[in-house]
Amino acid sequence: MTSLTEVAELDPLEELLLASGQGDRQAFARLYNLSASRLLAISLRILHQREPAEEVLQEAFITIWKKASQYNPERGRPLSWMGTIVRHRAIDQLRSQNREPRSKASLDDVIDSNLGSDIATETPFDQVDEGLRGCLEKLNAKQQKAIVLAYYYGHTHEELASTLDTPLGTVKSWVRRGLLQLKECLDQ
């Protein structure tokens, strides 16, 4: 059992996951709010379709709620533990449908057809806050594409470099600078 002093030293996700394991519904709601987008990215990367990915995420959070008391901070970070649950659920979903993940080429086709110069009308961000959309529009096309691929499609930096046929360091710079510009724009 973790003592209160030990919990105070944990990162917020660990603290929330441990509290969820003790039945704290408010902690679980906060855990969901802080981690759902990152976990959805994992599910999307495997399933490549938003609706099934969201269903998998919901099922995974039910499992997380039920098994939160089994989480052990000494065995891994909370996001890794939860991400493993999401990953296994998504793979199970693929297997139950007896299908394989889409190939990289078809994903590239989807990206190319969905990401043009007008970020407001041609990306999944058309359903997000108008302020965020406005800030995304202020980024250059390369930064927009890299950020959308990373945060909506769940690509890692390595996957971005491969998909965009650009050196890894350049892609990291696009994402980092783009996020800094977004933060600055949203803070105004």
SS3 label, residue 188:
coil
Query: Are residue 77 and residue 136 in the same domain, yes or no?
Result: no
Query: Are residue 134 and residue 164 in the same domain, yes or no?
Result: yes
Averages of pLDDT over runs of 10 residues in the chain (188 residues) are: 48 90 95 93 86 94 95 86 89 72 40 41 49 83 84 72 88 90 83
Q: Single out the residue in 96, 120, 152 at which a domain terminates.
A: 96
Query: Are residue 89 and residue 13 in the same domain, yes or no?
Result: yes
| pLDDT number for residue 51 | 92
| pLDDT number for residue 129 | 58
| pLDDT number for residue 127 | 44
Structural domain boundaries, residue 136: 104-187
Give the pTM. 0.50
| pLDDT number for residue 152 | 64
Give me the CATH number covering residue 47. 1.10.1740.10
| pLDDT number for residue 84 | 87
For the record, the structure tokens of 98 come out as 């007896």
| pLDDT number for residue 186 | 78
